[in-house]
Amino acid sequence: MSTFLVTGAKGFIGRALARRLECTGDSVIGLSTADGDIADQATLKPYRSSEIRHVFHLAGRSFVPQSWNDPIEFHRVNTMGTLNVLEFCRERRIPLTYVSAYLYGQPMQQPIREDHPVVPNNPYGLSKVQAEMACEFYARTHGLHVSIVRPFNVYGFGQDENFLIPTILRQVLSAGEIEVQDLAPKRDYLYMDDLVELLLATPNAPSGYNVYNGGTGTSLSVAEVIALAQAEAATSKPVRCGQSVRIHEIDDTRADIEKARNELGWSPKHEFRDGVRAIIARMREVK
């Protein structure tokens, strides 16, 4: 049995990862905001003597619109918090997996490979780029083994309702109509179970510094998402579009996942329709 430390263990991705690790019989040290500020060195101090095989670092601020209102806090938690975790791993020589984000801006080609230039287009993305730079520095300077996972658009049961998929599914199941701001943007949607399997594969990554995309290689527009969701829910509600385009909106994102496939033996197993069907079933169970 191995012991893993998961920061952000009460978050959307962290909960799923911790459950999956526990199901395999491993021991999980889960850290959340209730255990302290991830940017404070005192938060990790109690675990310096623990025999930890690997650290999964997920703690951070993630809701992009909020980052425009409080960029300093996003930088403090996401960047300085990652530095704190890196120092903990450096001192103990513990390999690290850092869950980053989509950082490629308006892509120059599709699908998007990991060597595409990073172009943060919001304060949240900027804080993630800075955290990645710190990871690369620790790998290069201190010989720390670090894997970065850049999920494109993750969805699953229990996601914050401020995000697109939960917003659409809630309206599909309970509202008289479906209202969104823009039907056009296309995204590469990765089901939570597939992301967790990718994270679990990273401890077996090659030594050094590695970056992996988390996606499916296909993209869907908001209009297509609504149509698929309605098909799975057997509804045909009217759709109203606010014709409002977000600041710095990106037209389309599609991940190249060959690196994760070749180096980690990972590939997603769920079609978008499968994931939506599972979420709808869970939502109906808890009503």
The tally of CA atoms less than 13 A away on the side-chain side of residue 239 is: 19
Predicted pLDDT of residue 245 = 72
Helices (H), ranges, the chain: 12-23, 41-44, 64-69, 71-74, 81-92, 123-142, 164-174, 192-201, 222-233, 258-264, 272-285
Q: What is the pLDDT of residues 17-29, one digit of tens each?
A: 999 999 999 999 9
Q: Which candidate, 74, 133, 112, places its Cα nearest to that of 250?
A: 112
Predicted pLDDT of residue 286 = 86
Q: What is the pLDDT of residues 55-99, one digit of tens each?
A: 999 999 988 889 999 999 999 999 999 999 999 999 999 999 999
Interval 95-106 mean pLDDT: 97
Q: Is the pLDDT of residue 103 over 90?
A: yes
Q: State the sign of the Cα–Cα–Cα–Cα dihedral 268, 15, 118, 248.
A: positive
One-letter amino acid of 231: A
CATH label, 3-285, candidates 3.40.50.300, 3.30.2130.10, 3.40.50.720, 3.40.190.10: 3.40.50.720
- Tell me the pLDDT of the chain averaged across its residues: 96
CB 195 within 8 A of CB 169: no
Q: Which pTM value belongs to this model?
A: 0.95
The end-to-end CA distance of the chain, in Å, is 38
Predicted pLDDT of residue 249 = 81
Q: Which candidate, 65, 62, 20, 25, places its Cα nearest to that of 195?
A: 20
Element (H, E) at 54: strand 54-57
CB 272 within 8 A of CB 220: yes
Question: Distance between CA 19 and CA 242 in Å, rounded?
Answer: 39
Residue, of 251 and 244, whose pLDDT is higher: 251
Interval 140-151 mean pLDDT: 98
Domain ranges of the chain: 3-285
Q: Would you say how long the chain is, in residues? A: 287
CB 3 within 8 A of CB 25: no
Residue with tokens 């970065």: 148
Biggest CA–CA distance in the chain, Å, is 58
